[in-house]
């Protein structure tokens, strides 16, 4: 079993967390296989998806340790316990729920708490969250996250919502160690068509974009220019 620090490292390399939210039960095995083939290893199944816990358990049994399977949309301790029992290696909440921290850490798992404001983000950090999920990030943008990290550079912010191939590099330049990518990667239409080949190709593009953005950020840092 991977320890918490190993899981944290896996969440940040390559730093793409695929957020799976579906309106009906998932064909989880081909979905996970397609994402892995594209280089995305961190996969979050939201508990709002019908049969989410069953899908999570199937994925853990079939793909560990190649895939890093987590549970998203966890809004209370009961859901957190159920997700951990199903094998979740990380928990993600869209809201600030400090009670999830001792629950996850007690099981040796990292947790990402949701926040929207700087005060909420700092409160999540002080509660012990390993990452702070900024959600929804589409109305805020990378400049907002960069502004938060100005006075609060210790925060590990992970934007979800509004992350796509055109905005990913901006979030990396803002100092985000990872991003959550939902419908721009795993759309309802793609799931409906079972377009696994297309999903693999798109996942590969996200991984390549993340690596390119990080390389560019390091190059700018090495040249002494600011991050913009």
pLDDT tens sequence across 86-123: 999 999 999 999 999 999 999 999 999 999 999 999 99
Taking a C-beta distance cutoff of 8 angstroms, is the pair 73, 48 a contact? yes
Taking a C-beta distance cutoff of 8 angstroms, is the pair 106, 131 a contact? no
Say how far apart CA 42 and CA 96 lie, in whole Å: 22
CATH fold group of domain 4-223: TIM Barrel (3.20.20)
**93 CB-contact burial (10 Å; exposed 0-12 / middle 13-18 / buried 19+):** buried
pLDDT tens sequence across 7-39: 999 999 999 999 999 999 999 999 999 999 999
pLDDT surpassing 80 at residue 221: no
What predicted TM-score, i.e. pTM, was given to this entire model? 0.94
Output DSSP code: residue 99.
Answer: T
Sign of the CA dihedral running 131, 134, 136, 137: negative
| Active-site residue list | 44, 133
Q: By percentage, how much of the chain surpasses pLDDT 90?
A: 92
pLDDT surpassing 50 at residue 83: yes
pLDDT surpassing 60 at residue 149: yes
Token pair 């012990």: residue: 128
Can you give the pLDDT at residue 174? Answer: 96
């Amino acid at each position: 079993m991977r320890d918490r620090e190993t899981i944290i490292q896996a969440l940040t390399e390559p730093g793409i967390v695929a957020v799976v939210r579906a309106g009906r039960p998932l064909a989880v095995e081909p979905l996970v296989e397609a994402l892995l083939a594209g280089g995305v290893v961190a996969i979050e199944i939201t508990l709002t998806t019908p049969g989410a816990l069953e899908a999570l358990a199937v994925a853990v049994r079939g793909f560990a340790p190649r895939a890093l399977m987590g549970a998203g949309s966890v809004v209370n301790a009961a859901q957190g316990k159920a997700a951990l029992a199903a094998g979740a290696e990380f928990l993600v909440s869209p809201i600030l729920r400090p009670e999830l921290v001792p629950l996850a850490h007690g099981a040796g798992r990292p947790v990402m708490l949701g926040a929207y404001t700087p005060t909420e983000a700092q409160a999540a950090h002080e509660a012990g969250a390993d990452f702070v999920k900024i959600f929804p990030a589409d109305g805020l943008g990378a400049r907002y996250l960069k502004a938060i990290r100005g006075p609060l550079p210790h925060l590990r912010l992970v934007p979800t919502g509004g992350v796509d191939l055109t905005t990913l590099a901006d979030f990396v330049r803002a100092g985000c160690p990872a991003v959550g990518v939902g419908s721009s990667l795993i759309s309802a239409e793609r799931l409906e068509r079972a377009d696994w080949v297309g999903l693999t190709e798109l996942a590969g593009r996200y991984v390549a974009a993340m690596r390119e953005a990080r390389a560019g950020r390091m190059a700018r840092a090495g040249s002494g220019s600011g991050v913009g």
